């Protein structure tokens, strides 16, 4: 565990459809690595993690930069995807020239808010190359050096949740276990983190409706089930990753790394 991170976990131990579990200490997931304490930095430096895959946009990274240990190198790979639950609202507010313009931009964004499931399908529709690159990073990791991959976005629930579900599904993870891992993020983020996000929303002048609250803090099983059903319609997770450029050798290496 990394102290101070509410949504950090190792994806190892996920049951596989044909028996067995995924390998531990290979693929980790979390929220953004902002404001880490000295204790947290020491824990991260002592971990097998050597690659940080960041799905946040440039704007998100500039607003809340990751904090990493300085006593050993980390390979930071930026894979920006716009379709996070917060990115559209945040960009509307930050890029507006005055408060009135910001409120109008936020209102326009709210009028077009999708459900989480639809958001994930939009993400998948344009993100195959980014998801394939994450798979490639995991496939290239090894046990001889700290090269395990930590993937994150802002909350670690949407872009991260879809990417982890996709990779686990591609290597044969039990579908119910994949959904359960995704769904657990809401409970992990409950409390101070979720309260800060709600305060940020209301501070932008946005009414906190149940739909907005779910977008910002929720991980309902039906959202990732909708995304996985869309992937199934494309031929399955492995074919989807191939469409993003993942080769057969890389797919085989991904399976070898993630299957214990």
Domains in the chain (CATH in brackets) are 9-254 (3.90.190.10)
In 233-256, which positions are buried (b, 16+ CB within 10 angstroms) versus exposed (e)? eeeebbebbbebebeeebbebbee
Query: Would you call 191 helix, strand, or coil by DSSP?
Result: coil
6's tokens: 């509410």
**Would you list the DSSP string of 207-253?**
---HHHHHHHH---HHHHHHHHHHHHHTT-HHHHHHHTT--HHHHHH
Band (pLDDT 50/70/90 cuts) for residue 102 is: low
Q: Which residues pair with 29 in a beta bridge?
A: 9, 151
pLDDT, residue 209, reads: 86
Rounded Cα–Cα distance for residues 137 and 135 (Å): 5
**Residue-wise pLDDT tens digits, 204-244:** 777 888 888 898 899 999 999 999 999 999 999 999 999 99
Q: What angle do CA 225, 230, 236 make, to 5 degrees?
A: 100
- Give the rounded percent of residues in the chain with a pLDDT score beyond 70: 88
Rounded Cα–Cα distance for residues 237 and 40 (Å): 34
Q: Is residue 253's pLDDT more than 80?
A: yes
Band (pLDDT 50/70/90 cuts) for residue 107 is: low
Q: Which residues pair with 51 in a beta bridge?
A: 75, 149
pLDDT, residue 211, reads: 86
Q: Is residue 202's pLDDT more than 90?
A: no
Q: Is residue 97's pLDDT more than 90?
A: no
pLDDT, residue 190, reads: 96
**Residue-wise pLDDT tens digits, 6-31:** 999 999 999 999 999 999 999 999 99
Angle of the 128-139 helix axis to the 159-170 helix axis, nearest 10: 60
Rounded Cα–Cα distance for residues 69 and 3 (Å): 14
- Give the rounded percent of residues in the chain with a pLDDT score beyond 90: 76
**Residue-wise pLDDT tens digits, 120-174:** 999 999 999 999 999 999 999 999 889 999 999 999 999 999 999 999 999 999 9
């Amino acid at each position: 565990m990394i102290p101070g991170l509410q949504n950090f976990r190792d994806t190892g131990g996920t049951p596989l459809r044909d028996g067995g579990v995924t390998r531990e200490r290979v693929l980790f997931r979390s929220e953004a690595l902002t404001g880490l304490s000295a204790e947290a930095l020491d824990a991260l430096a002592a971990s097998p993690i050597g690659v940080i895959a960041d799905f946040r946009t440039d704007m998100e990274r500039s607003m809340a930069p990751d904090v990493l240990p300085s006593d050993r190198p980390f390979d930071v790979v930026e894979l920006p995807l716009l379709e996070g639950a917060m990115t559209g609202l945040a960009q509307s507010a930050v890029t507006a020239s005055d408060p009135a313009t910001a409120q109008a931009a936020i209102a326009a964004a709210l009028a077009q808010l999708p459900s989480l499931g639809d958001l994930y399908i939009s993400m998948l529709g344009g993100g195959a190359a980014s998801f394939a690159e994450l798979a490639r990073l995991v496939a290239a990791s090894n046990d001889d050096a700290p090269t395990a991959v930590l993937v994150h976005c802002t909350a670690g629930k949407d872009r991260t949740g879809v990417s982890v579900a996709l990779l686990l599904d591609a290597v044969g993870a039990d579908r119910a276990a994949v959904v359960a891992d995704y769904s657990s993020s809401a409970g992990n983020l409950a409390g101070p983190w979720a309260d800060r996000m709600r305060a940020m929303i209301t501070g932008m002048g946005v009414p906190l409706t149940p739909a907005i609250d779910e977008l910002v803090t929720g991980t309902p099983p039906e959202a990732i089930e909708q995304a996985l059903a869309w992937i199934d319609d494309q031929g399955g997770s492995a074919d989807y990753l191939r469409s993003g450029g993942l080769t057969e050798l890389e797919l085989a290496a991904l399976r070898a790394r993630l299957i214990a």
